[in-house]
Amino acid sequence: MQPGSDVRAGLLYVVATPIGNLEDLSPRAARILAEANLIACEDTRHTAHLLAAYSIRTPVLSYFEHNEDRRTPELIERLLGGATIALVSDAGTPAISDPGYRLVSAARDAGIGVLAVPGPSAAIAALSISGLPTDRFVFEGFLPQRDGPRLQHLKTLAREPRTMIFYESARRLAATLAAMAEVFGAGRQAAIVREITKAFEETLRGTLAELQARIATTEPRGEITMTVAGAPASPAVTPDSANAAVTLEILREAGLSLKHASAVIAKLTGASRREIYQQALRQLNASGGHKSSEDSPPGDD
C-alpha cells in the first residue's frame, strides 16, 4: 500500500462506475478498485469487462438483488476482519435503484467505516441535460410494472411541484407515457434520455403527448431515464363577484358581521380579506344597507 493512501483496512467503499463510456471512471475510483481486497458487484462478467479495461485484477464476488440477504453477513464478517471492500453496481452509483442499501446499512450498524467514491449517475446526468428545472427535484426510480399500480403511484405525484426523475425499460416506455399523460396531462413537459454516455445517446424533449407520438413511430431501445416537469403552481383563486355576494348574504343572515363574513370568504378563496371587505362594503352601500359597529375594516393580510 502506498504511503498516504486513503485506503484503510476495514472500510467499505461505495464506488460509482461508468454508465456507458468507460472513460468516465475517475482516477480515484480506479485506484480504489485496484487496492481493495475484494469487489462486490452485481454481475461479475459485466464488472470484469470494466476491470480488464483498466488492468485491475482484484477478486470479485457477486452481490445482487437475489443474494443480498445471504451475502451481506459474509461481507460484514470480512469487513470486521479488516478487509477493504469496494461495492459497485453494473453502472452508475450503487444503492440508487441498485443493490447496496442493505450492505451499507449493515456496515453502519456494525461500526464499519463507509466512504463514497462519487461519479456517474444516470439520474443526475439526465436531469442536467433535460432542460427542465434543476433547483428542486425528486427521484422516483422505477415505477411499478403492472398497469394498475403504476397508474395509482403516478396519481400520488399528480401535484408534485418538483421535477421528477424516473428509470424505465424500453418495452414499458409507451405504457408509462400513456399513464403519465392521463395523470399529469398531455401538455406536461418531459424529456427522455436514452443510452446516456453511449455511442447512440439520444435525448427527446417535448410534451408527454409529443413524446408518445415519437415513441409510437420509433421503437425505443436501450437504457432510459425520464425527467418530467413538476405540476405548475395553482393560480390564485379570484372570487366570482356574484358568488361572493351570495355567500356574503348567507353568512350575514347567519349572524356574522361583515368583517367576519369577509374573513370566511377570503379563507375559502385565498383572496385578500381587505379586498373582499371593501367589495362587500361597496355593495352594501349601493343597496342602501348599513354596517354595524362590528363591521370595522379588517387588518392588512
Residue 166 and residue 223 in one domain: yes
In a domain, 6, yes or no: no
CATH number at residue 176: 3.30.950.10
Number of domains in the chain: 3
Residue 171 and residue 71 in one domain: no
The region of weakest confidence among 11-20, 76-85, 160-169, 267-276 is 267-276
pTM, two decimals, is 0.73
Q: What is the pLDDT of residues 235-279, one digit of tens each?
A: 544 545 556 666 767 777 777 787 787 788 777 766 777 777 777
CATH number at residue 58: 3.40.1010.10
Residue 252 and residue 163 in one domain: no
In a domain, 132, yes or no: yes
Q: Which pLDDT score is estimated for 7?
A: 43
Residue 147 and residue 189 in one domain: yes
In a domain, 4, yes or no: no
In a domain, 178, yes or no: yes
Residue 182 and residue 193 in one domain: yes
**DSSP calls for the chain:** --TT-S--TTEEEEE-B-SS-GGGS-HHHHHHHHHSSEEEES-HHHHHHHHHHTT----EEE--TTTHHHHHHHHHHHHHTT--EEE--SSBSTTSSSTTHHHHHHHHHTT-EEEEE----HHHHHHHTT-S--SSEEEEEEPPSSHHHHHHHHHTTTT--SEEEEEE-GGGHHHHHHHHHHHH-TT-EEEEEESTTSTT-EEEEEEHHHHHHHHHHS---S-EEEEEPPPPPPPPPPPPHHHHHHHHHHHHHTT--HHHHHHHHHHHH---HHHHHHHHHHHHHHTT----TT-PPPPP-
Residue 46 and residue 138 in one domain: no
Q: What does the pLDDT average to over 202-207?
A: 96
The boundaries of the domain holding residue 256 are: 235-301
